[in-house]
Structure 1
Amino acid sequence: MTTQVTYDPWHAALLDLLHLTQQAQDDQVAECVSAALRPLGLETTCYLVDEEQRHLHPLAEPGKQPPAALGVDGTVAGRAFTTVDTQRVGGGAGSRMWVPLVDGTERLGVVEVVLRRDDCDIEALQDWCESYVGLVGHLLAVKMPYGDSLQQVRRTRPMTVAGELLLSALPPLTFTSDRLVLSALLEPHYDIGGDAFDYALDNEIAWFCVLDGMGRGLPAAVMTVTALAAIRAARRDARGLYAIAQSAEDALRDQFDGAAYVTGLLCELDTGTGRLRYISAGHPAPLLLRHGRAVRELTGGRRLPLGLDDSTIEVAEETLEPGDRLLLYTDGVVEACDRRGEPFGVERLVDLTEQAAQAKLPAPETLRGLAHRVAAFRDGPPRDDAMLMLVEWSVDAARRVLP
């Protein structure tokens, strides 16, 4: 005897989406989302944020006139993106929701959902839409490496070879566990020369680093990618912080014969105890923020930049308190100059970071704001890459980045 299995409309829509996207190309995901939700009386438009995180761009669908791009600042859609919180407009038929589109906690964009019927429990509908769009975010992230269309939507101008090389080697901008938030941002997005970052979390140990290769352009990118690959190889071989730094040192010297160097900050945080161990290889000292205020720079663990044959590797230690923030940055941030030649400076960086901390902005939104302030301050094109990383050891911070 065969048992008939039945599904309610939302479960059926979830199964339809998984079936439709199984062999879909990256540029067909938005069409699959619309097809799966249309039987429920819902019309959708998916938007991806551009590399600059200034505009939300619609994904094209066959037979559908794409709407215009929307600003992240000053729009309801942008508010959904920046706060990672669904925004509702109107009620009944014709009303709409702007639902954050995330891959885990990595912000990708938003999905506009327009209701074409009146007989809905709006609260239950919102719950279902948020869960559904969460799945859409995962599917877009999975499909993105298999085509170029989604990348093209996010780019507003051509990428340099150096930028393509470095960006292809980097992890997602934001990662979150139940007690840690780590977010990073790079400028300029299309012409990155030597700045990079990396992270990994296994068991209770969070490992993260920022790197800055000598010079700009493709030579700097090759230096940085070489150091990054050496660091990952040593880390995945379960070697310690000292050995990881030495591995990057050896790789740079072997490949470039002493003619290249990469500054770096290599960190290891025990998320169970707050014990931080770090090595600073010619890199700006990270800032420690506590209770919304910058309390000091972490100036230990100093050595020459990686590649300059410095065998003196000192591992420094610091004990974090719950709620502490670490701000890591490259010199392109504080050395950006206005038209009078005045640098952006550490003091201005500290002030803006403290304001964001007191406003309890999520880490990704804090960095977006900082990066835009640096760009607005700078006179003309950047003379150097600028990279920011914010690490929060906080259960509350981890909750704030969840949709």
Structure 2
Amino acid sequence: MEYDPRHRAILRLLQLTHLARGDDVAGCVSEALAPLDLAATCYLVDEEQQRLHPLPGGSLPTGEPISVDGTVAGRAFMLVRAQRGDGSRLWLPLVDGTERLGVVELAWGPKAVDPDSLPGWAQDFVNLAGHLIAVKLPYGDTLHQTRRTRPMTVAAELLLGMLPPLTFTCDRLVVSGLLQPSYDVGGDGFDYALDGSTARFHVLDAMGRGLKAAVMAVTALAAIRSARRDGHGLHTMARAADEALREQFGQAGFATAVLAELDLDNGRLRYLNAGHPPPLLLRGQHAVRELDGGRRLPLGIDSDIPHLGQEQLEPSDRLLLYTDGVIEARDPDGDLFGVERLTDIAEQAAQSQLPAPETLRMLSRRVLDFQHGPARDDATLLLVDWIPSPTRRAVPPSS
């Protein structure tokens, strides 16, 4: 069977990566594109989501890492949309599904076939490359090393290895999370699961800092996940975390948390708040209220079973969950970042129609800028969009 040259490039990439290591994928991309007179270099974003770092094996010359802010490459990453560069250059978002990994720089020579129609097909090709990079990520360390600008603590290594991908999108929901500081996170964590018409998502903050706090957070997350996978509801998930924390830490360990579930068919939200800052509901690009129902004591402490908090969401509503490290961040004068400032920035992001992961990146940067330096406490954000067509803000357009 005779294939179109562009179809052959996709098949060639699949063939080349069957036995490839993670650090080989960028070279496989270059080799598959070469017969089309196309050259490419893949870039991965670092853990801080501040700079894009080239992978070895690209067929275009590279220099220093590229800033996400203020560059064409960064704009492709932030907006999850292809951007034209200088001359015969195109920057394409590199994603695994909707998880942002970086960008690909693409250039075409005089023998390239129909450059005007290139962006749509090229995005399909790059989407495949992003998926292949994500598949290879667990099997080696080179790709992880490319994304790190400094050593990671044992606590952060333990906790980050427990978390799901930062962003996931289905036909009716976008969920996106972010933890800072990337290399020294201790007791914060989040989890989510989407099955059928139900989305479940959780944010927690274990007491203390360092490795002990990370072990506490991982214990609570694992207990919640285990109960959830056994088919239990929010009360039983919380009870499972209570028991696991008491068994391992006695009276010396607890974690605040929000455990929630959303019916994607009708927008009914049910939630339990174990001593945690209340989620923020955004509607019509404005903050409507804090969700302060379903209160109980923190996980790990005996507590009466509360009535679950309930809220009826409307299409396009957003839920912002966060830990106290966000609102308790302080500037050099000792002033708190606070809920009001968080609300204002979240409203600005909604009005700008930024994708969920870019909204969290912007919020995180504003917290860091407010502190004028590294975070003094873990700061975790989880954003949930219940919208009719979420893919318009999370998936790069293709052919």
Q: TM-score range by the shorter chain?
A: over 0.9
Q: 22, 26, 32: which one pairs with 2:22?
A: 26
- Deviating runs (4+, > 6 A) in structure 1? none
SS at match of 1:35: helix
Q: Distance between the aligned counterparts of 1:385 and 1:349, measured in 2?
A: 16
Q: Distance between the aligned counterparts of 1:217 and 1:127, measured in 2?
A: 46
What corresponds to 1:271 in structure 2? 264
User: Aligned runs of 1:296-375 on 2, under 5 Å?
Assistant: 296-375=289-368
Q: Distance between the aligned counterparts of 1:7 and 1:363, measured in 2?
A: 38
Q: 269, 290, 293: which one pairs with 2:286?
A: 293
Q: Deviations over 1:245-299 (max 9, x none)?
A: 1111111111111210011000000011000000000100000111011111000
What corresponds to 2:216 in structure 1? 223
Which residue identity lines up with residue 334 of structure 2 in the other structure? G
1:148 has 2:144 as partner: no
Q: 221, 227, 230: which one pairs with 1:234?
A: 227
What corresponds to 1:189 in structure 2? 182
Indicate conservation of the 8 Å contact 1:362/1:397, yes or no. no
What corresponds to 2:33 in structure 1? 37
Q: Distance between the aligned counterparts of 2:215 and 2:174, measured in 1?
A: 29
Q: Distance between the aligned counterparts of 1:267 and 1:259, measured in 2?
A: 26
Shift in Å at residue 382 of structure 1?
2.3
Q: Distance between the aligned counterparts of 2:51 and 2:150, measured in 1?
A: 13
Q: CA RMSD for the aligned pairs? A: 1.3
Indicate conservation of the 8 Å contact 1:213/1:220, yes or no. yes
**336-345 or 248-257, which moves further after superposition?**
248-257
**265-274 or 377-386, which moves further after superposition?**
377-386
Which residue identity lines up with residue 81 of structure 1 in the other structure? F
Q: Deviations over 1:314-334 (max 9, x none)?
A: 311111011111010000000
**45-54 or 251-260, which moves further after superposition?**
251-260
Q: Deviations over 1:58-107 (max 9, x none)?
A: 0012897643211111111111111111112356xxx0110110000111
Q: Distance between the aligned counterparts of 1:255 and 1:36, measured in 2?
A: 52
Q: Deviations over 1:196-222 (max 9, x none)?
A: 000000001000000101000000000
SS at match of 1:209: strand
Indicate conservation of the 8 Å contact 2:235/2:305, yes or no. no
Q: In the superposition, relative to structure 1, how do residues 318 and 246 fare at CA in structure 2: closer, same or farther (>3 Å)?
A: same
Shift in Å at residue 312 of structure 1?
2.7
What corresponds to 1:86 in structure 2? 82
Which residue identity lines up with residue 7 of structure 1 in the other structure? Y
1:169 has 2:166 as partner: no
Q: Structure 1-normalised TM-score?
A: 0.96
Q: Which runs of 5+ in 1 are unaligned?
A: none
Q: Distance between the aligned counterparts of 2:258 and 2:27, measured in 1?
A: 43
Q: Percent identity?
A: 62
Q: Structure 2-normalised TM-score?
A: 0.97
Q: Deviations over 1:117-142 (max 9, x none)?
A: 25632332211100000000100000
How many residue pairs align between the two structures?
396
SS at match of 1:350: helix
Q: In the superposition, relative to structure 1, how do residues 63 and 30 fare at CA in structure 2: closer, same or farther (>3 Å)?
A: closer
Which residue identity lines up with residue 37 of structure 1 in the other structure? L
Indicate conservation of the 8 Å contact 2:40/2:59, yes or no. no
What corresponds to 1:125 in structure 2? 118
